[in-house]
Amino acid sequence: MARDRPSAQAKGKAEGKGKGGPAAEAQAAGWKKKVREPADQDAVVKRLDDCKVVPVIRIERVEDAVPLCRALLDGGIDLAEITFRTDCAAEAIRAVCQSVEGMCVGAGTVVDPQQVDAAIDNGADFVVSPGFDARVARRCAARGALYLPGTITPTEVMTAMSYGLRHLKFAPATTCGGLGALKSYGAVFPDVAWMPTGGVTEANIIDFVTLPNVVASGGTWMVGEAAIRSAAASGDWSAIVDAARKARAAAH
Q: How many CB atoms lie within 10 A of CB 61?
A: 13
Contact 52, 203 (CB under 8 A): no
Catalytic choice (17, 32, 52, 81):
81
Q: Is 225 a catalytic residue?
A: no
Nearest-angstrom CA–CA distance, 7 and 29: 28
HSE at residue 210, side-chain half, CA atoms within 13 A, is 7
DSSP for 7-48 reads PSB-SSPPTTPPTTHHHHHHHHHTPPPPSSPPPPHHHHHHHH
Q: Is 81 a catalytic residue?
A: yes
Nearest-angstrom CA–CA distance, 158 and 151: 9
Q: How many CB atoms lie within 10 A of CB 98?
A: 13
Nearest-angstrom CA–CA distance, 59 and 162: 33
Nearest-angstrom CA–CA distance, 194 and 100: 27
Catalytic choice (17, 91, 169, 246):
169
Compute φ and ψ for 200, nearest 5 degrees.
-80, 130
Give catalytic residues, as residue numbers: 81, 169
